[in-house]
A and B are shown apart, each in its own frame.
Chain A
C-alpha cells in the first residue's frame, strides 16, 4: 500500500472512489459506485431518502469500510481507514444531526477542532504552562479568525446547547474548519433551516471554498441550493449512481427525474 501523500494540483482529483460497494448484512447500501472529487470544487451528493448518501460520506471519512472497491485519497490507495487517520490527513466533516458538545461554549467547541494540531503533551496543558500556553494562544488566534469569518462573535461564550439550530450548524462548520481541512464533508448543512439561514449558510460554504480553497463535498436536499452553489453533482438512488455531471446536465437527466418523481421499479 502506497502511503505517500502527494500535493494535489487544483482541478486534479483529490479523492477517487473506484467501484465501491457497501452492505450491512443483506442490505446493500452502496452498489458499485465510482466517482471522483477534484481539488477546489464543490461537489454535491443528492438523492432520495435512503439512497445511501450519508453512507457514502461515512465511507469517505473512514467510518464505514466498504466490502469492495478502492479509495484513492491524495494519491494513496486504501480501502479502509480509521476516522482519526482521515481527520489527520485533512478530511473534516459535519453531521446530519448536529453533533456538538452541548454544554461547552462555541469557542471551546471550535477549539476542540484544533485538538489534532496540538503538539504539546497533555500534562503541560493541564497546568497550562510555558509551551502549552503559547500553543493555546496560537490556536486561539486561529479559532478567533474562524469566529470572525462565520460572524459568530456574539455567541462566543454561549453554551451551544442554548443556541438556535441554524447557529449550531454554523458552529459545527466552524469546528470542521478549525481542522484546516483539505476536504470538507458537509452532511445536510442546511436541513431544517429557514430561507434566511439557508442563504447565510450557502454564502459561508461558497466563502470557505473561495477564501481557503477548501474542497467541499456536501449532501443536500434543497435543490435550489445544490444547483446554485455546486460545480458538479452526483445523484444516488437505491445505492446506485444514476447520474453525474454539472447541475444543468443532472437536472435534465431522465433517470434523475424518474427517481425524484417516483417511477415504479
Chain B
C-alpha cells in the first residue's frame, strides 16, 4: 500500500475521508477487534463505517454541532475509538481524557475545553462526570458504553451507546438523503483544520490543551508508516491511555492511514494474555513493561529444570554474542549463525511466543531511558526494538532510530520531515509538519513554546554525537553548568549509574562547582548477594556500605560511567571526580526522595552538607556525619557514621572514544 500512502496525501486529509476510503478499499479487512466474554469480536472497515455513520447521526440528533468539544473518557474500547471519527465527521473536536484522573483533575480539562458532550466508558466515569457536572455549564449529554449499574440513573441526559446508534439509524431511515449530506460535509474540512485536543498530563503546573490539526497527525502517521514499512496487514494492541499522543498516533492515526487492525484488550489485567493471542506486529511500550517481562523470565528460569536452565543459559550467551549483530545485518561467522538458529528453535522462539512477540516487526520504547542490558536482551532475541523521542507538541515523532543504527544510549536521528537544532543553553528545538497549532486558550504558553517561524522549545536538553544521533540528557531547566562552563546534566549521569544493579540511587552535585561528585546508595538485595558470593561479612547496611571492597566495586562502576561520558562530546568534562557511598538508604520518610522515588537533590544537598563540602575538599578522605532519621513507627533517632570519600581517575577523551566505538 506504499503507493496509496504516497498519493492520498492531499485527497484523504481528514479521518472521516480516510474512513470512507478504508471502507472502500479495505472493506472486508478487520479494522478493530475486542475480546468480549472470552471471544475476540471483530469489525471490518465496512462495519466500522456503518456504525460510525449511525453513531454520528445519533449524536447529531442529540444536538452535537460543528465546533462542539466532546470529552472521551475510558480504557481502550472500540466504541471510544469510533467516537473520534463520529465526532470529527460532524466537525466537532474530540478531547480524550486520562481515564484514571480523579474528578477534580478531570474537571479542569472538561471546563477548559468547554465540552458539550461526554462519551465515557462505564458507571465509574459517568459518576465522575456527574459529580462535577454543576461546574460544567456547557455540558449537555453523557453517552456511555457499558451499562452495568446504570439502569437506575436518570435517562434524560444520559444515553447508552446502543440508543444513540438506534436514534441515528431511525433518522437515516426517515430520510436517507442525510447520509449524502453527511458525507458531503466532510469536504468542508481539510488537513489544516483542528483534529483533536490532547491535554498534556501536566506534571508541572496545569495541563495544557495541545491543539493538533489533521495534517499534524496524518502526516506524522504516514511518515511513521513509511519509515517502518507498515501496511494494512499489521496487528497492534491498543492498551496505552487514549488521551496520550502516542496511542492517538499508533492506534488511530496510523491505523486509519495504513488500514491496519487495532485490537482492544479484554481488561487491563489481561493485556499479557491478549498480546499472546493477538501477536502484534507493531508494538509500543515504555521501558517498565519490558523490565517486568525480563524479571518474570529470569525468575521462571530459576525455577526451571536443570536441562531447561542449561539450554537457556547456553543459548542466551550465544544470543548475547551474535544476536544483535544478526539483527543489524552485520557479518557473523557461519558456526555462530548455526548456533543462533538452534537457539531460535529451542529458546528464543518459545520465549518470544510466550511474550506474544512471535510476529513482531518493530517495537518502540520511549518516555524514559531504558537499561542497556534490558534493551540488548530483547534485541539479541531478534526483536527489532527501537527507541524514539517524541512529544505531544510534535505529533509524537522528533527522533527515531533507523534500522541498523540502534543503540541503547541514543534516541536516534531526526524523524522524516523533522528539523532539529540545539540552542546555546543545550535545549533541543524542532520544527516539523507534526508541530501543534497552539495551546488551547493559552496564548502566552504558546508564544513561550513555539517561535514565529515554527520552532518548538522541547524543554529537554540534549546533544548530537558524531554519528548524528541525538542524546536527550535531562529537562533543560535541571541542566546546570560546571564552573568552567561544561554542561552538567545531573539526572543523565545518575541514570547511567543506576543502570548497574548494585546501585540503587545516585545523587550528582556539580552545578556551579569545579567538578562532578556523587553520592551513591548501594542496592541492598543485589550487593548482599554479591557479598555472600565473595565471602564478605557484614552486620548492617551501614557496615556493608562502608566496606572497602564494596567501595572498590562501586569505583569500578563509576569508572565505567566516566568512560561512557568521555565518548559523549561535551559531556566528557562532566566526568565524576569523587564519590562516596552513603551510610543510609535515601528514604521517603526522611523526605530525601519523593514517594515516586525521585531524588530531591536540593534537600539531600542541605541535609548532608558536611558530606557535600567534604567531596569538594580535596584533602578530605573521611568525613563524620550525624543525621536524624525517622523510623517506620515515627520515632526519631540519630545515625552517626564516618563516610569514606574516594577519588576516581577521569578518562582521557580520545582513548575513550576509540573504546566506545569498538563496543
**B38 nearest in chain A by CB position:** A144
In the bound complex, residues from chain B placing their C-beta under 8 Å from that of A139 are: none
**Given contacts A153-B269, A154-B269, A154-B270, are A148 and B149 in contact (CB under 8 A)?**
no
**Interface contact B149-A144, CB-CB below 8 Å:** no
Name 23 A/B residue pairs within 8 A (Cβ), A-sorted: A140-B38, A141-B37, A144-B37, A144-B39, A147-B37, A147-B38, A149-B148, A151-B267, A153-B35, A153-B38, A153-B266, A153-B267, A153-B270, A154-B267, A154-B269, A154-B273, A156-B38, A207-B148, A207-B149, A210-B149, A211-B148, A211-B149, A211-B151
**A145 at the A/B interface (Cβ < 8 Å)?**
yes
- Min Cβ gap B224→A in Å is 31
| New contact pairs (8) apart from A141-B37, A144-B38, A153-B267, CB-CB < 8 Å | A148-B36, A148-B37, A153-B38, A153-B266, A153-B269, A153-B270, A154-B269, A211-B149
Proximity bits, B267-278, A CB within 8 Å = 1, else 0:
101100100000
- CB contacts under 8 Å to B, within A207-237, are 207, 210-211
- CB contacts under 8 Å to A, within B8-45, are 35-39
Proximity bits, A127-148, B CB within 8 Å = 1, else 0:
0000000000000110011011
Give the 6 A-B residue pairs with the shortest CB-CB distance, closest first.
Answer: A154-B269, A144-B37, A154-B270, A144-B38, A153-B266, A153-B267
CA distance A141 to B149 in the complex (A): 20
CA distance A211 to B148 in the complex (A): 8
- Min Cβ gap A111→B in Å is 12
In the bound complex, residues from chain B placing their C-beta under 8 Å from that of A141 are: 37
- Min Cβ gap A99→B in Å is 25
CA distance A210 to B267 in the complex (A): 23
**How many chain B residues touch the partner (CB < 8 A)?**
13
- Min Cβ gap B354→A in Å is 14
CA distance A247 to B38 in the complex (A): 40
- Min Cβ gap A234→B in Å is 28
CA distance A149 to B38 in the complex (A): 12
- Min Cβ gap B219→A in Å is 38
CA distance A153 to B36 in the complex (A): 10
In the bound complex, residues from chain B placing their C-beta under 8 Å from that of A210 are: 149
- Min Cβ gap B275→A in Å is 13
Q: Which of B37, B149, B269 contacts A145 (CB 8 A)?
A: B37
CA distance A144 to B36 in the complex (A): 9
**A144 nearest in chain B by CB position:** B37
**A203 nearest in chain B by CB position:** B149
Proximity bits, A148-174, B CB within 8 Å = 1, else 0:
110101101000000000000000000
CA distance A211 to B270 in the complex (A): 25
In the bound complex, residues from chain B placing their C-beta under 8 Å from that of A149 are: 148
- Min Cβ gap B75→A in Å is 12
- Min Cβ gap B283→A in Å is 20
CA distance A210 to B147 in the complex (A): 13
**B39 nearest in chain A by CB position:** A144
- Min Cβ gap B529→A in Å is 27
CA distance A148 to B34 in the complex (A): 14
**B152 nearest in chain A by CB position:** A210
In the bound complex, residues from chain B placing their C-beta under 8 Å from that of A145 are: 37
CA distance A211 to B147 in the complex (A): 11
| Most B-side CB within 10 Å, residue of A140, A153, A210 | A153
In the bound complex, residues from chain A placing their C-beta under 8 Å from that of B37 are: 141, 144-145, 147-148
- CB contacts under 8 Å to A, within B250-302, are 266-267, 269-270, 273
- CB contacts under 8 Å to A, within B108-160, are 148-149, 151
- Min Cβ gap B124→A in Å is 11
- Min Cβ gap B574→A in Å is 46
In the bound complex, residues from chain A placing their C-beta under 8 Å from that of B151 are: 211
CA distance A145 to B39 in the complex (A): 12
In the bound complex, residues from chain A placing their C-beta under 8 Å from that of B35 are: 153
CA distance A149 to B269 in the complex (A): 15
- Min Cβ gap A212→B in Å is 12
In the bound complex, residues from chain A placing their C-beta under 8 Å from that of B266 are: 153
CA distance A119 to B39 in the complex (A): 25
CA distance A153 to B273 in the complex (A): 10
CA distance A160 to B35 in the complex (A): 22
CA distance A149 to B36 in the complex (A): 12
- CB contacts under 8 Å to B, within A185-221, are 207, 210-211
In the bound complex, residues from chain A placing their C-beta under 8 Å from that of B267 are: 151, 153-154
CA distance A147 to B38 in the complex (A): 9
CA distance A207 to B123 in the complex (A): 12
CA distance A19 to B38 in the complex (A): 48
CA distance A154 to B271 in the complex (A): 8
CA distance A148 to B151 in the complex (A): 18
Proximity bits, B599-614, A CB within 8 Å = 1, else 0:
0000000000000000
CA distance A147 to B39 in the complex (A): 12
CA distance A140 to B37 in the complex (A): 9
CA distance A147 to B269 in the complex (A): 13
CA distance A151 to B148 in the complex (A): 12
In the bound complex, residues from chain A placing their C-beta under 8 Å from that of B270 are: 153-154
**B35 nearest in chain A by CB position:** A153
In the bound complex, residues from chain A placing their C-beta under 8 Å from that of B38 are: 140, 144, 147, 153, 156
In the bound complex, residues from chain B placing their C-beta under 8 Å from that of A151 are: 267
CA distance A153 to B269 in the complex (A): 8
**A148 nearest in chain B by CB position:** B37
In the bound complex, residues from chain B placing their C-beta under 8 Å from that of A148 are: 36-37
**A145 nearest in chain B by CB position:** B37
- Min Cβ gap A205→B in Å is 13
CA distance A147 to B149 in the complex (A): 16
- Min Cβ gap A193→B in Å is 18
CA distance A211 to B35 in the complex (A): 23
**A147 nearest in chain B by CB position:** B38
- Min Cβ gap A149→B in Å is 8
**B36 nearest in chain A by CB position:** A148
**B273 nearest in chain A by CB position:** A154
CA distance A151 to B149 in the complex (A): 14
**B265 nearest in chain A by CB position:** A153
CA distance A77 to B267 in the complex (A): 46
- CB contacts under 8 Å to A, within B58-85, are none
CA distance A145 to B38 in the complex (A): 9
CA distance A156 to B148 in the complex (A): 21
In the bound complex, residues from chain A placing their C-beta under 8 Å from that of B148 are: 149, 207, 211
- Min Cβ gap A20→B in Å is 36
In the bound complex, residues from chain A placing their C-beta under 8 Å from that of B36 are: 148
In the bound complex, residues from chain B placing their C-beta under 8 Å from that of A156 are: 38
- Min Cβ gap B553→A in Å is 38
In the bound complex, residues from chain A placing their C-beta under 8 Å from that of B273 are: 154
CA distance A60 to B36 in the complex (A): 37
- Min Cβ gap B121→A in Å is 14
- CB contacts under 8 Å to A, within B450-487, are none
In the bound complex, residues from chain B placing their C-beta under 8 Å from that of A153 are: 35, 38, 266-267, 269-270
In the bound complex, residues from chain B placing their C-beta under 8 Å from that of A211 are: 148-149, 151
- Min Cβ gap B239→A in Å is 13
Proximity bits, A26-65, B CB within 8 Å = 1, else 0:
0000000000000000000000000000000000000000
CA distance A179 to B223 in the complex (A): 55
**A154 nearest in chain B by CB position:** B269
CA distance A148 to B273 in the complex (A): 16
- Min Cβ gap B90→A in Å is 32
CA distance A154 to B272 in the complex (A): 9
- Min Cβ gap B76→A in Å is 15
Proximity bits, A57-89, B CB within 8 Å = 1, else 0:
000000000000000000000000000000000
| Most A-side CB within 10 Å, residue of B37, B39, B148, B270 | B37
- Min Cβ gap A235→B in Å is 31
In the bound complex, residues from chain B placing their C-beta under 8 Å from that of A207 are: 148-149
CA distance A145 to B37 in the complex (A): 6
